[in-house]
Amino acid sequence: MTPILTESDFEVITRSPEQTLALGRRLGELLRPGDVVCLEGALGTGKTCLTKGIGAGLKVVGKIVSPTFVYINEYGPKGPGPYLYHVDLYRVEDASSLYNLGLDDYIYGDGVTVIEWAERAKDLLPRERLWVTIRDLGGQRRCFVFTGMGDHYEATVSALQRVIAPERPPKGDEEGA
């Protein structure tokens, strides 16, 4: 089922892991310290692949791997710039586990926090955030729906849309609007 897009949404289809990495890199170039990116999607849909691209866009050091068994990996920048906090909540069993992780220290910190399986922590997440829903379309094709929650994240989604699909004006910018 295709989600109903709103003015704060942007949908992109990638056809390979390389395109997903490139999409993530473009997004990473737009993210700022304190940003929270929430990833929702089934196993194997490309959450970690997108995060690797985000890390490339942020210019962090180290090979980005899924922190499924350690919950959180930290990656420092090559130069000036924010840390990347890569969180994986797949193995979280209950809300008390989230508190024990110290997740709020990361999401309210000064790095960029990317959370896989973010739907497991909805009650702890800031109201304003970037939500990315990922669907497997078969083969290597993936559908990414970026939803900006709050003015800053809506602006981030619009900026991503301008970078990815410059021929398509962001919603609300059409002639005569």
Listed residue (125, 85, 110, 86) closest to 34, CA to CA = 110
Task: Please say whether the beta carbons of 37 and 129 come within 8 A.
Answer: yes
Q: Within a 13 Å sphere around the CA of 140, how many CA atoms are in the beta-carbon half?
A: 9
DSSP 103: H
**Which run of H or of E encompasses 166?**
none
Task: Break the chain into its structural domains and give their ranges.
Answer: 14-37+57-72
Tens of pLDDT, residue by residue over 85-109, are: 999 999 887 777 777 888 889 999 9
Sequence-distant (≥ 6) Cβ neighbours of residue 122 within 8 angstroms: none
In this prediction the pTM is: 0.89
pLDDT < 50 positions in the chain: 1-2, 174-177
pLDDT at position 4 is 61
